[in-house]
Chain A
Amino acid sequence: MESEHTLADRPVILSVKQIKKKIGRKWIIHDVSFDVRAGEIFGFLGPNGSGKTTTIRMLVDLIKPTSGHIQVCGYDVNRQPEKALRFVGSIVENPEMYNYLTGWENLEHFARMVPGIDSIRIHEVVNVVGLTRRIHDKVKTYSLGMRQRLGIAQALLVQPKLLILDEPTNGLDPLGIKELRGFIRLLADSGMAVFVSSHLLSEIQLMCDRVAIISNGRVLAVDDVDQLLTGRSQYVIWIAEPLDKALQMLQASEQAKVLEADKAVIDESVLIGLPEHFIITETAPEHISGLNQALTDAGVAVEGIQRVVPTLEQLFLEMTEGGHIE
């Protein structure tokens, strides 16, 4: 693909090479490597406890890796943090700011730590995140969403080349999430490399260009989101009347593989609004219309067909070929 070609030409902003981390006697991170290039949104997908947060903390020098290298714009994060971190804006976990200061004072505080950031720049980022009205209020009066915005504002303050966001949609309402998604895309289009972590597959799918999947401290795969996720199993939900007849026909068909009505394979959010009984099959998209035709011809009233993305757990099951996720 052409876009891939241009992507490969872009400079590598963040390079993570075989980092390992041992805390106490336990290896938390076994082997993590990936590159993030300018202008891309890079997803970091893994369930809670997979080593996601530890990895992110290593990216911003909060934790030193036991071995391996992390470089930002060519500078080693752990050896030359004062150079490497100049290019990084980040929110690690929750955007915890000084509660007893106002939003503005918080930004001033962080601005002072980096030379060359004036109040004009602070005004700019406040405007960008839309906090102008409340910026002179104490942070303790802020809602979670406002804190998230303030967090992004402080991350953008330094005009970073790499933006690291840890579970950025936490605490945001659906509208806020959508806004954020658009905003992140805008930043990436302006040439910024954006690193986003999440435990939600759908979020990564909606937001990212490329993704690394981490489990048990190991990166299982790094690839384009489309390649990695879309090429995988395609689940289809059938809602039909009478259901028994539809089930018989689908079971008989070779193009569809009926799955036991195991709801665990599907994200719960997808199930909302569905009737109590339905059929889940694994079906290639090109066969859906044919199957639909056959059902309709047989007098089955097809009331709904829905393609769904498998859950992260399901994806892992397939990737590790039956190995389980802790």
Chain B
Amino acid sequence: MNNMLALIHNETLKVLKKKRFYVVMLILVILIPVFTYAQMKIAQNSREKFDQDWRREITQQITDYQNTLGSDRIPEEWKKFRRIMLQQLQYYLDHDVNPNEPNGVTFTRTFMDNSVNLFIPLLVMAIASDIVSSERSTGTIKMLLTRPVRRWKILMSKWLVLMLFTGVVVLMTALLSYLISGAVFGYGGWNFPLFTGFNVSGTNVNVEAVHMLPSWLYLLMQCGLIWFSSIVVAALGFMISVLVRSTAASIVTLMATLIAGTILYNMASAWPTAKYLFMINLKLTDYLAGTPAPVEGMSLLFSLGVLSVWGAAALFIAFRVFTKQDILN
């Protein structure tokens, strides 16, 4: 145990000293203000158009959705999605709750929702991709593995540290987006009610199970689900980092997989088998928000299952390979 703590100390120190973590933080600090600014512009626009009257804005949005539903040019998938969104918006309107109440918490919630399948995974990958491969590309692995420590222990310490940093990355993304956007939109809104429990079946939304949650609890649940997705992404990055010697190659492999995933996500309805890919299942937060899943019949438990299998397989391969492989160069 003591030994493991020392190993974790080592690995944490290395991640910090490599400066990669700071680069990730820097990306957040640069990008979040950009999104905040864009969000602010949108808010300004609607203020001009609707006199800050969110009810009118939502009413207009519903009408606009209804109009696109009538168009023959819109693909059936989009229509289905819009029909569901429309019913949810109507629900918010009927219960006199603004789904886009402008404050730091709402911004954070929206930002996290949009980051779950690409942005946060990329940040996690940035750390995961070189946690093992950098030892191999610089040759330090020879020093590391000639210590009187079992290989699985060394790899385990790296995995635990990666898990810690995944937690830190998710936390920092939420925290920074709250702190930065709050400066513009205000820091309130923790107790603002949000609706969840929309039961999507086909194109209809069953509102029987809908209930209100305070924003802080919703955000906590959201971060928890994002964290789970991120851990699975981290496990896959970890495996590739073990399998691929060059850090650059491992980053490229990971990015290509993730970006292919987001492209596939939009086409998944046409190819139902895609639901077994991990990339299609990363948006766990959709189940919370009541957004329809990309493939019919996907549920939270299904997605958790798929992600768990991918994650566990990745870790198994990583440990198996790392403990058996010959270090030839």
Tell whether any CB of A sits under 8 Å from a CB of B in the complex: yes
* Residues of A participating in the B interface, judged by any CB pair closer than 8 Å: 23, 57, 60-64, 81-86, 88, 90, 92-101, 105, 109-110, 112-115, 154, 158
Interface residues of B in 128-164 (CB under 8 A from A): 138-140, 142-143, 145-151
Binds A, one of B14-22, B235-243, B251-259, B294-302: B14-22
Q: For residue A83, which residues in chain B have a CB less than 8 angstroms away from its CB?
A: 148
Beta-carbon contact of A57 and B147 below 8 Å = no
Out of B6, B140, B151, B326, name the residue touching A113 (CB < 8 Å). Answer: B6
Beta-carbon contact of A154 and B143 below 8 Å = yes
Cα–Cα distance between A63 and B140 once the two chains are bound (Å): 15
Q: For residue B148, which residues in chain A have a CB less than 8 angstroms away from its CB?
A: 81-86, 88, 113-114, 158
Beta-carbon contact of B146 and A85 below 8 Å = yes
For the complex of A and B, 5 pairs with smallest distance between CB atoms:
A96-B139, A86-B148, A85-B148, A62-B327, A112-B6
Taking A63-B326, A97-B143 as known contacts, 6 extra A-B pairs with beta carbons closer than 8 A to each other, sorted by chain A number, are A63-B328, A81-B150, A84-B148, A92-B146, A110-B147, A112-B9
Q: Chain B: which residue is nearest A166 at the CB level?
A: B142
Check B321 for interface membership: any CB of A closer than 8 A. Answer: no
- Per-position contact with A for B308-327: 1 when CB-CB < 8 Å, else 0? 00000000000000001011
Beta-carbon contact of A63 and B147 below 8 Å = no
19 residue pairs of the A-B complex, CB under 8 angstroms, read A57-B142, A60-B145, A61-B146, A62-B326, A81-B150, A81-B151, A82-B148, A84-B148, A85-B148, A92-B146, A96-B142, A97-B140, A98-B14, A98-B140, A101-B13, A109-B10, A113-B148, A113-B149, A158-B148
Number of A-B contacts (CB under 8 A): 83
Q: For residue B10, which residues in chain A have a CB less than 8 angstroms away from its CB?
A: 109, 112-113
Q: Chain A: which residue is nearest B157 at the CB level?
A: A113
* Residues of B participating in the A interface, judged by any CB pair closer than 8 Å: 2-3, 6-7, 9-10, 13-14, 17-19, 138-140, 142-143, 145-151, 324, 326-328
Residues of A contacting B: mostly: loop
Cα–Cα distance between A113 and B4 once the two chains are bound (Å): 9
Cα–Cα distance between A39 and B329 once the two chains are bound (Å): 30
Cα–Cα distance between A57 and B147 once the two chains are bound (Å): 13
Q: Chain A: which residue is nearest B7 at the CB level?
A: A113
Residues of B contacting A: mostly: helix
Q: For residue B14, which residues in chain A have a CB less than 8 angstroms away from its CB?
A: 98, 101, 109
Distance from B13 Cβ to chain A, minimum over Cβ atoms (Å): 7
Beta-carbon contact of B13 and A109 below 8 Å = yes
Q: For residue B139, which residues in chain A have a CB less than 8 angstroms away from its CB?
A: 93-94, 96
Cα–Cα distance between A83 and B3 once the two chains are bound (Å): 14
Looking at A82, A98, A100, the one whose CB has the most chain B CB atoms below 10 A away is: A98
Q: For residue A109, which residues in chain B have a CB less than 8 angstroms away from its CB?
A: 10, 13-14
Q: For residue B138, which residues in chain A have a CB less than 8 angstroms away from its CB?
A: 96, 98-99
Beta-carbon contact of A90 and B326 below 8 Å = no
Q: For residue B19, which residues in chain A have a CB less than 8 angstroms away from its CB?
A: 100
Cα–Cα distance between A81 and B145 once the two chains are bound (Å): 10
Q: Chain B: which residue is nearest A82 at the CB level?
A: B148
